[in-house]
């Protein structure tokens, strides 16, 4: 329990740091890239919206940084992330809450599957070192060196077309409203298949390699030799003794590398015009829509923090040593 509380405190601290970074970055930039955008929309912005923008970007010269900071937090707690320029006058929070579920489903499911497959293959490659599984390594190295988005482009080029089952863009057929019914769900799965496979192929290799290396290291421990000597079946030694212990560092590695993976997967959304937060970030970037960009950054960071917390809980369940202390 003590371990869990420590982690919780750490994530709270990280969330605070991310939000503060988000607050500071526009203020540290020389010049005033946002002022022009405000004048552009001067006629259309309500005085309240302008006020909110001033706080978000620190354009209010009368206030001290400290006061701005307090006000920034107050806005955040109300869920006010400002107004989007691209989809004016829609609030950023509304755009994000529309697009976040898409990303959570796509990235969440594929990351977990990728981790499971990669770890499984890694166990095999580590245990049967010297068999055909060694051939996996060069192939996966090459695939992991390819940028996710480029693999997506190639996938679209090869597998989609006028008479292909797989669509090249979008999250579901046009005209379908997100709902749990027999029209939307199959269509969403059909659209998500290719992006998911792209992410899977390029992210699985990292797990294979780290799991293989951990298996090789663990396999020469004394307790493995003892297990063999006791006459346990090869399979039982591999899974119950070696893999079980090799898994622990991989789980904590999983938590730590989530930030890297999520960054890459957002790019896949751009290539496939998938209506998730990555695609929104891309559109915001093109339109210099700073409120939307910052909102997306915050939401991605918070999601990654929550995923990390879940990975920590998994670690807690897997490793008895963390439980004993509390």
Site residues (CB under 8 A) for another protein, limited to 116-175: 126-131, 134, 137, 141-142, 144-147, 149-151, 153-154, 156-157, 168
- Nearest CA to 152 out of 138, 166, 162, 173 is that of 166
Residues 182-241 interacting with another protein (rule: CB under 8 A): 213, 215-217, 219-220, 224-225, 228
Q: CB of residue 205 vs another protein: minimum separation in angstroms?
A: 9
Among positions 1, 5, 33, 226, the unique one binding another protein when judged by CB under 8 A: 33
The mark string for 88-107 relative to another protein (x by CB under 8 A, - otherwise) is --------------------
- Residue closer to another protein (CB basis): 13 or 183: 13
Q: How far apart, in Å, are the Cα atoms of 68 and each of 39, 72, 185? A: 21, 6, 44
Phi, psi of 75 (to 5 degrees): -60, -45
* C-alpha span between 240 and 230 (Å, rounded): 14
- Least CB distance from residue 92 to another protein, whole Å? 14
Listed ranges 72-80, 111-119, 283-291, 312-320: which one lies at the site for another protein (CB under 8 A): 283-291
Contact 267, 277 (CB under 8 A): no
Q: Which stretch binds another protein (CB under 8 A): 37-45, 112-120, 185-193, 300-308?
A: 300-308
Candidate list 92, 107, 246, 270; residue touching another protein; CB under 8 A: 270
Q: Measured from the CB of residue 142, what is the shortest distance to another protein in angstroms? A: 5
First to last CA, the chain: 5
Q: Could you tell me the sign of the dihedral formed by the alpha carbons of 299, 301, 306, 310, in that order?
A: positive
Q: Both tokens of residue 246?
A: 């090799």
Instruction: Tell me how many degrees the CA angle 62-68-70 measures, rounded to the nearest 5.
Output: 140
Identify which of residues 156 and 194 has a Cβ nearer to another protein in the complex: 156
User: What are the angstrom distances between the C-alpha of 261 and each of 137, 168, 236, 246?
Assistant: 20, 22, 32, 21
Q: Does 55 bind another protein (CB under 8 A)?
A: no
Q: Which of 277, 266, 143, 251 lies closest to 195, judged by CA?
A: 266
**Residue number, 189 or 226, with CB nearest to another protein:** 226
Give the residue, chosen from 1, 8, 70, 256, that forms a contact with another protein under the rule CB under 8 A.
Answer: 256
Residue closer to another protein (CB basis): 9 or 189:
9
Going by C-alpha positions, the residue among 29, 46, 30, 26 that lies closest to residue 38 is 46
Per CB under 8 A, the list member of 89, 263, 306, 310 interacting with another protein is 263
Q: For residue 47, with 0-12 CB atoms within 10 Å meaning exposed, 13-18 middle and 19 or more buried, which class applies?
A: exposed
* Among residues 204, 294, 312, 322, the one that binds another protein under rule CB under 8 A: 294
């Amino acid at each position: 329990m003590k371990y869990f509380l420590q982690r919780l405190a750490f994530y709270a601290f990280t969330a605070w740091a991310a939000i503060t970074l988000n607050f500071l970055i526009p203020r540290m930039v020389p010049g005033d890239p946002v002022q022009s955008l405000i004048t552009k929309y001067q006629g259309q912005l309500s005085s309240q919206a302008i006020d909110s923008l001033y706080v978000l970007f620190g354009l209010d010269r009368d206030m001290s940084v400290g006061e701005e900071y307090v006000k920034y937090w107050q806005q955040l707690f109300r869920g006010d992330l400002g107004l989007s320029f691209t989809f004016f006058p829609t609030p950023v929070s509304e755009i994000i809450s529309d697009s976040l579920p898409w990303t959570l489903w796509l990235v969440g499911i594929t990351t977990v599957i990728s981790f499971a497959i990669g770890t499984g293959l890694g166990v095999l490659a580590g245990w049967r070192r010297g068999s055909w599984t060694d051939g996996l390594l060069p192939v996966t190295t090459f695939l992991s060196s390819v940028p996710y988005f480029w693999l997506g482009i190639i996938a679209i080029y090869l597998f989609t077309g006028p008479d292909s089952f797989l669509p090249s863009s979008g999250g579901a057929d046009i005209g379908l409203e997100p709902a749990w019914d027999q029209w939307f769900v199959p269509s969403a799965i059909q659209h998500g298949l290719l992006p998911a496979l792209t992410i899977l192929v390029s992210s699985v290799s990292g797990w294979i390699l780290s799991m293989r290396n951990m298996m090789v290291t663990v396999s020469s421990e004394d307790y493995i030799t003892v297990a063999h000597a006791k006459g346990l079946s090869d399979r039982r030694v591999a899974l119950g003794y070696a893999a079980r212990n090799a898994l622990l560092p991989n789980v904590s590695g999983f938590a730590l590398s989530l930030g890297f993976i999520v960054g890459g997967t957002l790019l896949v959304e751009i290539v496939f015009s998938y209506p998730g937060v990555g695609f929104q970030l891309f559109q915001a970037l093109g339109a210099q829509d700073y409120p939307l960009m910052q909102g997306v950054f915050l939401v991605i960071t918070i999601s990654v923090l929550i995923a990390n917390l879940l990975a920590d809980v998994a670690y807690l369940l897997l490793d008895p040593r963390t439980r004993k202390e509390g």
